[in-house]
Amino acid sequence: MEKIKPIAGTQSIERAAHLLRIIASHNSAGLRLVDISKQATLERPTAHRILKCLMAEGLVRQNPETHRYFLGHLIFELGLAASSSFNLRDICHPSLVRLAEKSGDTVFLTIRSGADSVCIDRVEGSFPIKTLTLEVGTRRPLGVGAGGLALLMKLPEQAQQEIVSANALRLAAYNNLTVPAVMKLLKRCRELGFALNDAQVTLGSTSVGLPIRSRSGEPILAISVGAISSRMTEDRQKELVSMLRAEIKTLENFIEDTGHP
């Protein structure tokens, strides 16, 4: 077996973490080396060397037939270890259930992860036509979808610009979004007072969302409700936002009272 040359330095750690986030964003189908190196703006040999190290540690695996890269078993094991002390999903789940029951639509819980949002819970309502645009574990750039917009809209404008610009190369995969388009969406969300994804990502699907803030005021989670666009009139958007505000107020009070970060 070929000996893998160790990679030293904090830059390499940052690059490895960046590759893991890229793979996580496409983990259902996997990614080729050429796609990973392009998204990471790394030379192919450099990306390949880092991937080999990640594979050796069980953080990444490669399908021997398609040669596509996926997250490895160690990521799952680390997630299980972290989940025992990270119970925000459990705290928020009853709110998602209530919202799904009241609205009849699908409710999503997303968490911020660097410049991304990750769906960590989903509850489906009773309405027969559903918008299952996000699966649990789906990772998207911040600013994509109502949850990502909700997490981003309460940040300072300079931070918004930096995050969206850093995600510039990835935005095109979401219905050809661009940095100016996302900044325009954020401006509209600030004016509305809530996040609105009006079929910008998936045609025929509209969603509204609001952030959940930590004790320090930082947006750490977001709850969004998605439905087919024909159900999402302006009046219904306001009705759903009112439901969201009530649940989020309860959650933020709980976070404050229990001393969660």
pLDDT tens digits along 92-113? 999 999 999 999 999 999 998 8
Q: What is the pLDDT of residue 2?
A: 44
Tokens representing residue 216 in the block? 């320090």
Least confident of 4-13, 58-67, 108-117, 165-174: 4-13
Domains and CATH numbers, the chain: 10-79 (1.10.10.10), 86-258 (3.30.450.40)
Task: Decide: 223 and 121 in contact? Cβ < 8 Å.
Answer: no
Q: What is the pLDDT of residue 81?
A: 65
Tokens representing residue 82 in the block? 């972290």
Tokens representing residue 169 in the block? 């190369």
Please, which pLDDT band fits residue 1 given cuts at 50, 70 and 90? very low
* Total residues belonging to the chain: 261
Cα separation, 210 vs 212, in Å, equals 7
Cα separation, 178 vs 195, in Å, equals 18
User: Which pTM value belongs to this model?
Assistant: 0.71
Contacts of 201 (CB under 8 A, 6+ apart): 133, 144, 145, 174, 175, 177
Residues 46-85 have pLDDT tens digits of 999 999 999 999 999 999 889 999 998 888 777 766 665 4
- Residue 70's nearest CA partner among 119, 31, 14, 117 is 31
Q: Report the sign of the C-alpha dihedral through residues 28, 171, 220, 108, in that order.
A: negative
Q: How far is CA 15 from CA 19, 23, 202, 213, 242, in A?
A: 6, 12, 30, 29, 42
